[in-house]
A and B are shown apart, each in its own frame.
Chain A
Amino acid sequence: MTMTSNSEGEPQAGLPQDVESKWETGLGLVEVLAGLTFAAVAGYFLIDALNLPSSSYNPYDAGTAAFPNALGYALLFCSLALVVIGIFRMRTGVGDTPVTIIHPLNITGVAAVTVIYALVMPYVTYYGATIVWVPLMLILGGVRGWKWIVFLTISTLLTAYFIFEVLLSVVLP
């Protein structure tokens, strides 16, 4: 896993003013991590399925747990196969193409800001949360100029009010 530098050799923090920062790793490692995550998901479902009722009113019914169990085992098998493929790639370098996330801090920032926005919204109302969230998103998205930011924030609020509250009768938080 590497954080790259820009052409001047300065470290990149991924903020909007940076030319381009990126986080890079090999496909093999990504596949190992993805495989382990899916294996954990499959394992969780398989363990939870142990508590599901096995009997049914019809003796020939496969039962409530049958389908999740079959899928869980199949997913577990495929996930572990992906882990093996990933390890093979890492060891031999065959097909271990780079996987890049460009502007990783901006992307993490957008995800974090959106999660906080959804958390806060029920307490400070939709409009209260949006008036802060839109400028943050725009800044993280590289939009410059306060006039643009003010214009886009007000446009978002008015559009949400008109389309969702007036036209679609959705009661926003």
Chain B
Amino acid sequence: MILEQFFGGLDLVLTTNSMAALFIGILIGYFVGAIPGLTSSIALAVIIPFTFHMEPVPAIVLMVSIYMASEYSGAIPAILANAPGTPAAAPTAFDGYPMRLRGEAGKALTLSILSSGFGSLVGTIFLIFTAVWIAKIAIVFGPAEYFSLAVLGLSLVGVLASGIVLKGFIGLLFGLLIATIGLDPISGNTRFNFTSDLMSGVPLLPALIGLFAFSEVFFMLETMHKKPPEMKEAPKITMTFGLFRGMGFNLGRSSVIGYVVGVVPGAGATIAALTSYAEAKRVAKDPETYGTGNPNGIVASECANNAAVAGALAPLLTLGIPGSASTAIMIGGLLIQGIQPGPMLFVENPDFPFAIFASLLVGLPIMMAVGLLGVRLWVKITLIPIGALATGITAICILGAYSNENSMYPVWIMVGFGISGYLMRKAEIHPAPIVLALVLASMMETNFRRVLMGGGGDPMVFLTSPISAGMLIVAALVVTSPLIRKFTDRRRARKTANV
């Protein structure tokens, strides 16, 4: 059954349009990942306006390939210049850069690209099987479960996305409050529509572009006088038998860690890479060599951050809950195409999720080939002046927001969210919880009120379903866990001080 559906998806991917989208997406992803500071979220926010006029499958293939390729190429500047292209490639630099200093840049790059490919492959296989399984469970979800799921997803993102939980929750609440502007989803009454344009609410896409892409322009300007990373040497790719000798267990373990962490909403590829690196170091016979150019460090980091990409797609496709900022933006792209992610997607249009799975597998050899053969080009990309890049991104942000409704109103939304996003990040309030809240607010409110109406106004009705009750309990534990940890840490510190 799965195989049959997979071939159905493969048919959709092996068309001229989808393959062109796949190839373009890989090139854009590599371009973005190779430039320190630019991330897949920025690229996706900028690219979504271009998908308006595309068919659904090539559009999602384009988005997925950008997401994946940017994680591949983030390792290139990390290894060659100690400047990770993406935050998730930071642990790669711990050992990649010392290897480059030892004259082993080619070996480090080959290890990183092949490990990325392995992590992707394992992650995709896990995704195919777990997604189908999760979708089967989620098919029985009713309004109570969906409300609890939204609460759980938002709690995880609020806790994991920011350093301080309070700031994560401020972002969440701000996003949820902004999402109440427009029509009440149950009664149809208007709420907070300061202008007639706001009748249908704050448009998601310009808000995404502003929060992730335009706000980044200001951060880029802060680095405009920094010298580009020095990567003068042309690394030579070294493919030798035995490159991965003794690393088999590390490859497998890191991929599994990456996938599992990727599934958790809010965790993402960076936490996956850091967790995997720490675990590889913990179980190693020679932990003291980590950070000094141990190839196992690169393998652990790269396997995990690429497997996490597939992991983040699992809650997106099966539950409609984004696992990362990038997948939150992808939800915006899917909704524009008229596709509602969730378990029903696997029932009503199974070819679509399987087309995504197929594109991940079809794209794998292309990504590895582009990475291995194009290293010299990706190195040169980092030399583009920041001012030119910032101007180009702003121009696309404005055009992209304008083309959303062919009016200036979304441009104002984009500019407003961009400037406020920059200021919020200065206050360490991350945009990811805001975006997730904007995406999930309607699902949360609608289902909350439906359940209450159906249950005669009794809030205990949320606890009558075991799945819903379980998710709410986990959400409560997630929210209270930082406080409990702080309390126990203080107690332990006090005990130690007494001793």
Q: Do A and B bind each other?
A: yes
Tell me if B457 and A60 are in contact (CB < 8 A). Answer: yes
B457 close to A164 (CB less than 8 A) = no
Answer yes or no: A64 CB below 8 A from chain B CBs: yes
Contact with A along B33-67 (1 / 0, CB 8 A): 00000000000000000101100000000000000
Q: Which of A56, A118, A143 contacts B408 (CB 8 A)?
A: A118
**What CA separation (Å) do A134 and B174 show in the bound complex?**
33
Given contacts A68-B177, A141-B388, contact A118 B427 (CB under 8 A): no
Tell whether A20 pairs with B225 under 8 Å between CB atoms, given A31-B427, A45-B192, A64-B189.
yes
Would B174 and A41 count as touching, CB distance under 8 A? yes
Q: How many residues of A contact B (CB 8 A)?
A: 72
Interface residues of B in 442-459 (CB under 8 A from A): 445, 448-449, 452-453, 455-457
Report if A131 contacts B (CB, 8 A): no
* Least distance between B169 CB and chain A CB atoms (Å): 5
In the complex the two chains form, what is the Cα distance from A27 to B424 in whole Å?
Answer: 12
Given contacts A34-B429, A61-B449, A138-B387, contact A79 B170 (CB under 8 A): yes
Q: Are A82 and B166 in contact (CB under 8 A)?
A: yes
Interface centre among B225, B429, B456 (most CB of A within 10 A): B225
Residues of chain B from 397 to 433 with CB closer than 8 A to chain A in the complex: 398-399, 402-403, 406, 408, 411-412, 415, 419, 422-424, 426-429
Asked if B191 contacts A68 (CB within 8 A), the reply is yes
**Any A CB within 8 A of the CB of B187:** yes
| Known pairs A38-B170, A64-B191, A156-B392; A142 contacts B387 (CB<8 A) | yes
B314 sits at the interface (CB 8 A): no
Determine if A41 and B221 form an interchain contact, defined as CB atoms under 8 angstroms apart. no
Minimum CB–CB distance from B204 to chain A (whole Å) comes to 18
- With known contacts A103-B224, A107-B218, A160-B399, A171–B406 Cβ distance under 8 A: yes
Chain B interface residue bracket vs A: 35 or more
Give the complex CA separation of A27 and B428 in angstroms. 9
SS of B interface (majority): helix
Identity of the chain B residue whose Cβ is nearest the Cβ of A86 in the assembled complex = B427
In the complex formed, the residue of B with least CB distance to A145 is B385
Are A107 and B177 in contact (CB-based, < 8 A)?
A: no
Chain A residues near B422 (CB-CB < 8 A) = 107
- Given the complex, which residues of B lie within 8 Å of A9, measured CB to CB? none
Q: In the complex, which residue of chain B has the Cβ closest to the Cβ of A106?
A: B221
A106 to chain B, nearest CB (A): 6
Contacting residues, chain B, for A170 (C-beta < 8 A): 399, 402-403, 406
Contact A75-B177, Cβ < 8 Å, known A56-B186, A58-B453, A142-B385: yes
Contact A141 B387 (CB under 8 A): yes
Taking a contact as CB atoms closer than 8 A, the residue among A64, A130, A141, A160 that contacts B385 in the complex is A141
Is there contact, CB below 8 Å, between A107 and B385? Answer: no
A115 at the interface (CB under 8 A from B): yes
CB distance from B17 to the nearest CB of A (A): 14
Q: Judge whether B453 and A168 touch: CB under 8 Å.
A: no
**In residues 109-139 of chain A, which contact B (Cβ within 8 Å)?**
110-111, 114-115, 117-118, 121-122, 130, 134, 137-138
Partner of B173, one of A61, A75, A173: A75
- 0/1 interface trace, chain B 371-386, chain A, CB 8 Å (1 if under): 0000000000000011
Closest chain-B Cβ to A131's Cβ sits at a distance in Å of: 12
- Bound complex: CA of A141 vs CA of B390, how far in Å? 7
**Are B424 and A34 closer than 8 Å at their CB atoms?**
yes
Note all chain A residues with C-beta closer than 8 A to B224.
Answer: 16, 103, 106, 141-142
CB nearest to A42 among chain B residues: B177
Tell me which of A30, A67, A114, A137 has the highest count of chain B C-beta atoms within 10 A of its own C-beta.
A67
Chain B residues close to A by CB (< 8 Å) = 50, 52-53, 166-167, 169-170, 173-174, 176-177, 180, 184, 186-187, 189, 191-192, 217-218, 221-225, 385-388, 390-392, 394-395, 398-399, 402-403, 406, 408, 411-412, 415, 419, 422-424, 426-429, 445, 448-449, 452-453, 455-457
A-B interface, 6 closest residue pairs, ranked by CB to CB distance from nearest: A141-B387, A60-B457, A34-B427, A143-B387, A75-B173, A102-B222
